[in-house]
Amino acid sequence: MNSIYEGSFGNLNALMEIDLSRNQLKYISPSAFRNLTSLKVIYLHENFIKGGFHLPESVVIINLQRNAVVLNDLRIILRGLRRLHSLSMQGCGLEHIESGSFRAMQKLRHLDLSKNRLSRLQPGALEGPSDKLRNLFISRNNMSTIADGTFKKFTKLNRCYLDYNLLRSIPDLTGLKNLWNLDLSNNRIIDVSRFRRSGIETVLEM
């Protein structure tokens, strides 16, 4: 199976979860999932998917890791997903996150952007998720710059993984009042002064 076309799922509008991971999928029609109005969980990881497709607003968990989606595809796939709790895009080759890409996702709890090619996070790149975000993974990228204020709304974030990047100083951690785990290992850090100024007191592991 390498393609999914409109109508492939017939009238399965009571379907709540679908797992299509570890197949040979390359193409999904833009309207392939549109009639699955009860769908909450979709696993598409470890395929070869290129191109955007629409998902019903009911979806709360998406795993897209290890596919070939680009920024324009992402804009289509994530449009209007206001109920989303968990999004994994590990290993998708992403080089840039456009400002506002996650704007609708104010209920997001888990975001995994690890193993991509991201070099910087500009202001607004993570706009949308706020105090509901608990886990943020940006490990194993090419991250050298994280804009000040990027994390300020993540007041209930528990885990932040920034390991295996190219950071030379600790980024602005203002707002991370409930951080348990901060992983900055395997970077190029020579300046830790911002950690002292951030006011963080609850890190249990670093």
If you average pLDDT over residues 58-71, what whole number do you get? 94
The pLDDT value given to residue 195 = 77
Q: Which of 55, 106, 94, 45 is nearest to 77 (CA)?
A: 55
The pLDDT value given to residue 203 = 58
Average pLDDT, the chain: 91
- Start-to-end CA distance of the chain, whole Å, equals 44
If you average pLDDT over residues 1-11, what whole number do you get? 87
Query: d(Cα 193, Cα 8) in Å, to the nearest integer?
Result: 56
pLDDT at residue 47 is higher than 90: yes
pTM (global) more than 0.85: yes
The pLDDT value given to residue 75 = 87
Q: Give the pLDDT band (50/70/90) at residue 31.
A: very high
pLDDT at residue 177 is higher than 80: yes
Q: Give the pLDDT band (50/70/90) at residue 72.
A: confident
pLDDT at residue 70 is higher than 90: no
Q: Which of 126, 179, 186, 180 is nearest to 162 (CA)?
A: 186
If you average pLDDT over residues 64-78, what whole number do you get? 91
pLDDT at residue 34 is higher than 60: yes
